[in-house]
Amino acid sequence: MKPTIHYVDALPGAGKTYSLHQNLKTLEEPAIVATPTNLLSSEQHRDLAAIGVKSRVISQETGHDNCTQSLVRHCEEKRNSIAIINHNVAKSPLKQLPVNICSLTSSSLQSKSSFCEKR
């Protein structure tokens, strides 16, 4: 399966995170959420856990020496959790990742990121 990337350009507070969480609750296929920072990745992990969505933060802070390789392994093993990464990991070649890419992006990050929210 080829990765699906959707783009939403919205100001902070417009509901990007809420919409993403609602979609992830009903999504029946693997997905990746890309955030601008590791701190936001951790926040997303906690927020998703609070609504019953399994997720996993892939960062050096969570013990992954090579985040890109860990992400590829996560996808190859078809784990039943959402992978949460930062934009630096997301910038790696995505052709080999058979999942949807979701990212939390405000208009201020538009020029730095080609990743975006699902739906």
Which residues, including other chains, have CB under 8 Å from residue 51's CB and lie 6 or more apart?
A: 21, 25
The confidence score (pLDDT) of residue 88 equals: 80
Would you call 52 helix, strand, or coil by DSSP?
coil
Q: List the CATH code of the domain at 4-112.
A: 3.40.50.300
Domain borders along the chain are 4-112
Q: Apex CA 36: angle with CA 66 and CA 59, to 5°? A: 25
pLDDT tens sequence across 48-59: 999 999 999 999
The confidence score (pLDDT) of residue 100 equals: 52
Residues of the chain with pLDDT under 50: 104-119
pLDDT tens sequence across 10-32: 888 998 888 888 888 888 777 88
Q: For the beta carbon of residue 3, count every other beta carbon within 10 angstroms.
A: 14
The confidence score (pLDDT) of residue 73 equals: 83
The confidence score (pLDDT) of residue 31 equals: 84
The confidence score (pLDDT) of residue 29 equals: 77
The confidence score (pLDDT) of residue 108 equals: 33
Q: pTM (2 decimals)? A: 0.72
